[in-house]
Homo-oligomer: A and B are copies of this chain.
Amino acid sequence: MVKTRLKIIPLGGLGEIGKNMMAVEYGEDIIVIDSGLMFPEEDMLGIDLVIPDISYLLENKSKIRGIVITHAHEDHIGALPYVLPQLDVPVYCSKLAKGLISIKLRERKAELQSKLNVVPPGSQFTLGRFGIEFFPVCHSIPDAMGIILQTPVGTIVHTGDFKIDYTPVNGAPANISRLAQLGAQGVLLLFSDSTYAELPGYTPSERVVGEALDQIMANTPGRFIVTTFASLISRVQQIIDAAAKHQRRVFIVGRSMMDTSKIAQELGYLKAPEGVLARIDELHNMPHEKVVIITTGSQGEPTSGLVRIANRDHRHVSIIRGDTVVISASPIPGNESLVNRTIDSLCKQGAQVFYDKVARVHVHGHASQEELKLVLSLVKPKYFVPVHGEYRHLSFHAQIARQVGVQEENIFVLEDGDILELGPDSGRVTGKVASSNVYVDGLSVGDVGGIVLRNRQMLSRDGIVVVIIAVNKQTGKLVGRPDIVSRGFVDTNEAKDMLEESCNLVVKIMDHGGKHTAEWGFADNKVRTALSNFYYDKTKRRPMILPVMVKV
């Protein structure tokens, strides 16, 4: 009889979209699944990236046998350049993931090439007490994998990010037969992707988009400019195929699109017939009806190819009346207005623009409700933990699991940091590890915390007023007139009189302060409160007030 219980510890990706990371622990062995980043939310001002808190892993460093990667999207691999130098453990992943991870590590100067191990789907390997096998799934990047973990307590299946696509553009369909076989043998626990658990029905096949792109290209009299995610290689493949069919040549523009296409070609994931791909310097000689331009900017990123084109500051391409632009992506929540501005600006210059709201130019890469039911029905897990998604997604997925017959008490809607302990017959949450957001801002990881962010928020709303008060260190009396400098608060010319008046107020306070005036706390409290009230009265704004005392 097994005494030791399995520990499941999500470190990111539950209750949020991004920074997916999870530890699975048995006795003296820990396997980490994925190590992703999250892009900052609106209130994380100035933050570049968010990564998981790995304190628990650092405390248990000697137990970690490796990091297993499901696929090469940023929200699954993006934290590796920050995490690997600290953990120094081997990584196991697919061929494409190795290629893309290497680029990331190089960029961040965290190269550990030798430790990236490519594992082909279907082959099995062992890490400590765990047997591991990758199985192919379909997702919006090639070589996406689910994971089968054989543990002493039972079999765990992790879907990774997936959809069910019976007619994928590259790679094999998801190996659902393998899932059925495992289900028949008995599965202890299923982790399954909840990102689109809100959506009824089935997610359409990637091939649907190919048909739409082909049709638009067939009816396009001028140039065909298209943007998508650089890693959505099947989409790039379909564009190249359509271009070849319609005798157009393809120009790839934008750094990440060029980099990713290059590595995808080298590794055999992207194929272009002879003579279809062209160099950018051939562009100006081409008849418009012979041109396809594939570029970055599907999220309206300010420095991307498409946005530069839309703003007329791209070196090689500017919009010509008669151009057709296709945005073959949907905006990630938070990017809608950037994308909309780009579309507006393209329309204004006379382009015809196709985007997800008005044409079938994108399908997403995650399973909808019926696909989730299919997987649950094949795997028939005893325990179920929905992963990847905000709380409502997890909770919809839990509801779906109940509908297809998983026992209510065996479904665990976890939060990041929860420790779920599982035995063969029962499971429960027994504790919590550190799991807060770790902010990357410039060179620093983790130094920006609550106070810095709160200050940035305050500064962003109503700016700052700095009051410099010089006092005589013996007498405590004012030396000269205080200096008031503001930024982001008011138009300093128009508000000159008000700022002067507030300066008088400071003089008055200092003159009446008696022996306390030379004390730091005095200026800090009295002056701050008085000015805060004064400015609020006059403007209904609350700038940050920063009194500085100079003793001379």
Asked if B550 and A483 make an inter-chain contact with CB atoms under 8 angstroms apart, the answer reads yes
Provide the residues of chain B in CB contact with A108, threshold 8 Å: none
Q: Is the CB of B391 within 8 A of A455?
A: no
Question: For the complex, what is the distance from the CA of A233 to the CA of B504, rounded to whole Å?
Answer: 52
What sequence of 0s and 1s flags, for each residue 471-496 of chain A, a beta carbon within 8 Å of any chain B beta carbon? 00000000110010101111100110
Contact partner, A444, options B45, B442, B479, B539, Cβ 8 Å: B539
Q: Give bound CA distance, A336 to B447, whole Å.
A: 29
Interface string of A103-147 (1 = CB under 8 A from B): 000000000000000000000000000000000000000000000
Question: Which stretch (A284-292, A378-386, A541-549) binds chain B?
Answer: A541-549
Q: How far is the CA of A80 from the CA of B334 in the complex (A)?
A: 31
Task: Chain B residues near A340: list those with CB within 8 A.
Answer: 333, 390, 392
Nearest residue (CB) in B for A494 is: B447
The answer to whether A42 touches B45, judged by C-beta atoms less than 8 angstroms apart, is: no
Do A544 and B390 form a contact, CB below 8 Å, given A462-B46, A550-B470?
A: no
Please state if A456 and B488 are interface contacts (CB–CB under 8 Å): yes
Q: Look across to chain B and name the residue whose beta carbon is closest to the beta carbon of A472.
A: B552
Q: Which of B336, B540, B544 contacts A487 (CB 8 A)?
A: B544
Judged by a CB distance under 8 angstroms, whether A88 is at the interface is: no
| A42, A336, A455, A458: most-surrounded residue (chain B CB, <10 A) | A455
A343 to chain B, nearest CB (A): 5
Residues of B within 8 A of A344 (CB): 15, 390-392
Q: Are B461 and A45 in contact (CB under 8 A)?
A: yes
Q: Which of A358, A449, A487 has the most CB of B within 10 A?
A: A487
Given the known A-B contacts A334-B337, A344-B15, A392-B347, are A463 and B455 also in contact in the complex, defined by CB atoms under 8 Å?
yes
A538 within 8 Å of B (CB atoms): yes
Q: Say yes or no for A2: interface residue by CB 8 A criterion.
A: no
The CA-CA distance from A540 to B544 in the complex, in Å, is 24
Q: Is the CB of B463 within 8 A of A452?
A: yes
**A448 at interface by CB-CB < 8 Å:** yes
For the complex, is A443 an interface residue (Cβ under 8 Å from B)? yes
Q: Which residues of the partner chain B approach A348 to less than 8 Å between Cβ atoms?
A: 391, 395
Cross-chain contact of A459 among B41, B442, B463 (Cβ < 8 A): B463
Q: Does A468 contact B (CB under 8 A)?
A: yes
A441: Cβ under 8 A from any B Cβ: yes
Q: How far is the CA of A344 from the CA of B396 in the complex (A)?
A: 11
Known: A466-B466, A470-B470. A491 touches B455 (CB 8 A): no
- Counted per complex, copies of this chain come to 2
User: Across the interface, do B336 and A333 meet the contact criterion of CB distance under 8 Å?
Assistant: yes
Chain B residues, Cβ within 8 Å of A449: 491
Q: How far is the CB of A548 from chain B (nearest CB, A)?
A: 5
Known contacts A452-B490, A452-B491, A487-B546; is A464 also within 8 Å of B461 by CB?
no
- A15, A391, A460, most chain B CB atoms within 10 A: A460
- Chain B residues within 8 Å of A490, by CB: 444, 447-448, 452
A1 CB-CB contact with B under 8 Å:
no
Question: CB within 8 Å of B: which of A407-448?
Answer: 441-444, 447-448
Alpha-carbon distance between A412 and B485 when the two chains are bound, in angstroms:
48
Question: Which one of B46, B491, B539, B550 contacts A468 once the chains associate, using CB atoms below 8 Å?
Answer: B550
Cβ-closest chain B residue relative to A351: B395
Contact A495:B392 (CB < 8 A) given known A46-B463, A337-B333, A455-B488: no
Cβ of A353 under 8 Å from chain B = yes
Q: Which residues of B contact A200 (CB under 8 A)?
A: 358
Whether the Cβ atoms of A337 and B41 lie closer than 8 Å is yes
With A46-B541, A344-B392, A541-B442 in contact, do A198 and B357 touch (Cβ < 8 Å)? yes
List, sorted by A's number, 23 A–B pairs whose CB atoms are closer than 8 Å. A198-B357, A198-B358, A200-B358, A343-B392, A345-B391, A347-B395, A358-B396, A441-B539, A442-B462, A442-B539, A447-B495, A452-B489, A452-B490, A452-B491, A456-B460, A456-B488, A460-B460, A470-B550, A479-B552, A485-B546, A485-B548, A550-B550, A550-B552
**10 closest A-B pairs (Cβ-Cβ)?**
A442-B540, A460-B460, A455-B488, A344-B391, A459-B459, A456-B488, A46-B461, A442-B541, A552-B552, A347-B395
Contacts A333-B340, A344-B391 aside, 20 further interface pairs with beta carbons under 8 A come to A45-B461, A46-B463, A46-B488, A46-B541, A198-B358, A333-B337, A336-B336, A348-B391, A442-B462, A448-B491, A452-B489, A453-B488, A455-B488, A456-B461, A459-B459, A459-B463, A464-B464, A466-B466, A480-B552, A485-B546
